[in-house]
Structure 1
Amino acid sequence: MDKSSDIRQKEVVNVLDGKRLGPIVDMEFDLEAGRITAIIVPGNNKFNVFGKSKEYIIPWEKIKKIGQDVILVEFNEGIERQ
């Protein structure tokens, strides 16, 4: 199993369209279960009024494969947060 710091350095790629989503910028955890519930990647790199870019939340179940250099996800860009 990789450490969270190792996972954060991998490029996230969407298998639905081959688009590179970027590196992981944050993760969500279920502390009671002791597991990662979602990864968070940069959005479209456009800044909103407050100077923050959008981020996409990708549930752990959408991760298809974690390789040496990339993380493959099946992601419809419908879940985002600001």
Structure 2
Amino acid sequence: MDMEGDLFSLTNLKDMEIIDVNTGTKLGFIKDLKIDCDEHRIISVVLPSQTSKISLFSKNEDIEVPWENIKKIGVDVILIDGEKLADKV
């Protein structure tokens, strides 16, 4: 992964828009992070579901993007390889 800076705060990451480099699709903003506390690293980022279905009884359809799929963190966007996520978006 290529990063323009060395350090990013969680707040800064959550304010960056996620874009799929394959399609140019805007996927939204980071909703949550999954962190491995034993190894002190981010495992994946969680994005809100792209479906418009809202129900109290529906299961959570958030999109989980493995950290390895993040290709570049820029100043105001995060570029991901969403090729394997195509069925979820």
Q: Which runs of 5+ in 1 are unaligned?
A: none
> What is the aligned-residue identity percentage?
31
TM-score normalised according to structure 2 size: 0.79
Give the partner amino acid of 2:11: S
Runs of 4+ in structure 1 off by over 4 angstroms are none
TM-score normalised according to structure 1 size: 0.85
1:73 paired with 2:67, answer no
After superposition, the C-alpha distances for 1:17-58 in whole angstroms (9 at most, x for unaligned) are 100000000110000111111001122232254256621100
- Comparing both structures, which one devotes a greater share of its residues to strand? 1
Cα distance in 1 for partners of 2:87, 2:33 equals: 14
Q: Which has the higher contact order (CA 8 A, sep 6+)?
A: 2
1:55 paired with 2:62, answer yes
Give the partner amino acid of 1:56: I
Aligned to 2:27, the other structure's residue is in SS state strand
- Which residue, 17, 25, 31 being the options, matches 1:19? 25
- Decide whether the 8 Å contact of 1:14 with 1:72 is kept in 2: yes
Q: How many residue pairs align between the two structures?
A: 80
